[in-house]
A and B are shown apart, each in its own frame.
Chain A
């Protein structure tokens, strides 16, 4: 919001806790308020309750997230005071001068320890368990009939989302008492409802405008900062603006992953998997929010692309003194894929079977769709064997195995590893609805208004293409509007890889309605029956069937309608709701591991990602590229780490290993389209697929490289140190 010309805006700077867990004894703002025009606000000055409503039912009600710490801080980064100043530099100076007297408490950083309930972070809640899912019951007979049973643990490590644009918010109280909030968000309409609810306002009194947003990846949904900015605008009756620094964002913007998965998998000696037990321990962070529910998705997707007849799943989410966990590109599904793919490889190694072959023996067959897994997911369409074959062919699998054999025989210090993942993921995972409106403009073009909110996904192009195609207009004549709750009536926003399949579908259906309405209007003007009017989409003309000379172009129709004040008849909206769809794919990673230093270099990554019909292949491929980079980053580079006192050790881009182009190869994205029957476009979501497929492929490749050394597992990220440690352990 630093780009917004906001006359007279005050700067907001948050004073944040440097301790992970402490009682607040007192706050002295005297020195800070001695700076010119500085005002300091604390919980004592505020009359707002906990942040609400809670994202989903089922969270421990005793673990509410206050907008500002009242008497206790629970993670490094927790807000304890707000500095208001004329400019950001003074705000930074004043924030340092706010003196907070803390009484430190022991910090709980490990979810494993938190789960013991020995130290309670919310004493009144009686437990550190925020929520649970699945069942703790173990069937003694689960692995009956299994010749081979393997088990292991995978820690899907905490990651920071790192959108290149840190968050920013501004708010202004209008003369009519309405609040306008400009937010760096993925969900403007939902934010409006929550802001209204939290501030005790009618939603009509709140306008949210999301301008250009520099990336979100699931983390940019309303958080306490945005509510506080809106509250401040009302309280101070002045426009206010806040922009977080990167160091601030690294601790204050919610994190992702942080699940520990314990798995046991059993099957026959012929490689058929019979049973799978998965236990997930989710670190929810200091205040449970959306992240606490991710194990629900992990459990739902536990069986992946395989027809596994018996599955047990339990998920527990516990609070710790760390940054809260929310959704981050994949949100619960990478964890499922990472584990089942690792488990399959461990199973394959135990059997001495090629990992591709083991997978073939367990795929849900192509003709079995819609397919209901025993975890109650209903997969719409898929061709898992086809995806794997395509990926293996594209990478030249057999030649790679030959080369690997040669290099192993030669015994050099650097060795090749080949890793496979075959995955399925759930998009539009909570059956959502999206809003689309199409309006013909006086010059014969069109505006699409969508409740989706593109922040890099290119809906401006894709949805314009969809509408232009249905209307028969040149795509340059169609513009897409989004992000302003005053202009777009409804919306859910963009996350969960759902936008094209519900937002694009809604726009398509709205465009179709406009065409029908246009036929009515054209019939009037052409003095024909509406049933006799057809649209020629190639020429963008409505004409009498069989007599193309009697026609009106969109420009003609719009001009006449405009003159007759009937343009509103060329406007329609549609809300489209759909069940989840299940994109899938196969990735193959080729790595070179320096077995002396442990260093891993990713040489190639072939990605087959099938998301049904691709409206704009260039944009879809871009989503795969970006998704894959994040998946690889989790496999090889990134990990957000705390010390035992809850101090973040990786809170800048120096400590946190976010890779550059020099650390990654080019991607080999291979197209495959198996349409879904769930919407007229045949489209599923693709935004998170690359991430979900890539991490297990790379992880498996590293372990594969080290197999001759007796290594069975490498901790994520599989960087030099973790590879070296795995080699040391195998020698011991």
Chain B
């Protein structure tokens, strides 16, 4: 099970390494870039990153398991991160998450990230997204949605079902 890295992606990764005096520093940016490309960080991606940066695999695995933004398995095409922290909680984040879950047939009580069986949506509670003035907020893929009420939530779901072009920004984040 080796990882197939297209040449442009590898070139992008190689460029990232040049930004740091020490290769290891590129780990996080590597993982972001690989996750953007493959949708998650597979064990092969961990091994590949380690080899590329001259690290032991555990050095990379330590990061993947520490930072919650890294995923070890594929998630839904539309990834809905509902902010759980105080200002959003005061503005009804709990009900909002419940709304998403119920509409998608997910368990509203489970606190772990959940993905719909069709692989279209993942809903999870995350910590503060730093947009507390427009609570409750939701990060849908790369797009921040503010003051999300039930009707906004429904349009997020509708857009997700229709392919979610609006919710996905083009290009990778490392460039």
A and B associate in one complex:
no
Binding site for A on B (CB under 8 A): none
